[in-house]
Amino acid sequence: MVENTQYPDLVIVGAGLFGLTVAQQAVEHAGARVHIIDVRDHIGGNAYSYFDKETGAEIHKYGAHLFHTSNERVWKYVNRFTEFTNYVHRVYATHDGVVYPLPINLGTINQFFGKAYTPAEAKALIEEQAGELAGTDPQNLNDKGIQLIGRPLYEAFIKNYTAKQWQTDPAELPASIIKRLPVRFNYDNRYFKDTWEGLPKDGYTAWFERMIDDPRITVELGVDFFDETQPYNRKALQAAGVPVVYTGPIDRYFDYELGDLKWRTVDFKEVRYAEDDHFGCPVMNFSDSDVPYTRAIEFRNFNPERADSYTPGRTVVWEEYSRFAERGDEPYYPINTDEDKALYARYAEKAAAEPRTVFGGRLGTYKYYDMHNVIDTALTAYEEQVAPLLG
């Protein structure tokens, strides 16, 4: 434990799922005094949600967050703090004015071609439609997509969506972005295949608040770790020898001295409708190039069990636009080119030389994580890296 009573035993930079999990574990297993700071005005990181006053819908402020896992340790852990609904995620896509189920499955294939193929017939058709690319090893995304699912389905559902998502012609993107494209030769349109799936019954923020409901955990929002006018800054904590869990961007920690890691970000445009339900589903993809956004999220449809609490005749939809991030934007998805991976490896070497700082979360490790992955890595990081610092 830290001998300097001016500081707590552990400071966590970032109140996202990684930081909250480590804080909860440090209190439970080490009896530590933990202080969490976050530059934002809320806890929960990108999984934060709030309830919309006009419609009653739970808004996922940073885009749709859907909990699913096959990891029993994680499932048991999260159920300590929240119950989950029986929500099962299903996605639909609009193409040429027609709505199809995704991921591409036998229903999508038969609807698209106006046929009644059996699974074997559909599989043979797609192999045939790969054409001259069948059996090859394409290096760009466009050709890889055609090889995997055939030209008609690729051009209908993937090509233009991907171009909007990356703001780049798929022929100029590496094939590694889509190592595989799921195609199901049955009528299963469940998006995830995990053992457990659902949404927190009382909302995400209520779940997160329960995780840190302990007097030994304090939270301070609107605090910048790199602002040396506040006491919980990098320089002061290092001088005091306080263990730190850092979940911000790793390149920012080192003042971008090796260069910037590249990310994609997402912008949202809110549209409100004087209707009970606009899309009839939570997520609608738009596969065509003449629609500038990639998808639209209708929040009330994530929680049909709350129908009685919704405002009749009012619904809110967020349209989602993808672009490359610049400094100051919210980083969502690591671009992960070979150049980026090499740059991250150099930053990771520098991080390894900071023995009292643990780097975690998607920003701290330059990785895309689903929520269950974040929790799993946080539980492991506590056991293997944080606990020894508190011993």
Q: Which residues are catalytic?
A: 180, 184, 264, 295, 320, 368, 370
CA 96 → CA 135, 155, 157, 287, 295, distances in Å? 30, 12, 10, 8, 15
- Strand locations in 55-195 (E): 58-60, 67-69, 91-95, 98-102, 104-105, 183-184
Report which residue type is found at 57: A
Handedness of CA 266, 272, 273, 278 (dihedral sign): positive
- Closest by CA to 265, choosing from 327, 367, 333, is 333
Report yes or no: 226 and 331 within 8 Å, Cβ to Cβ.
no
What is the CA angle 49-271-295, rounded to 5?
75
For the chain, percent helix, then strand, then coil, each to nearest 5?
A: 40, 20, 40
In three-state secondary structure terms, 75 is helix
* Dihedral angle over CA of 222, 66, 266, 184, nearest 10: 160
Largest CA distance in the chain: 73
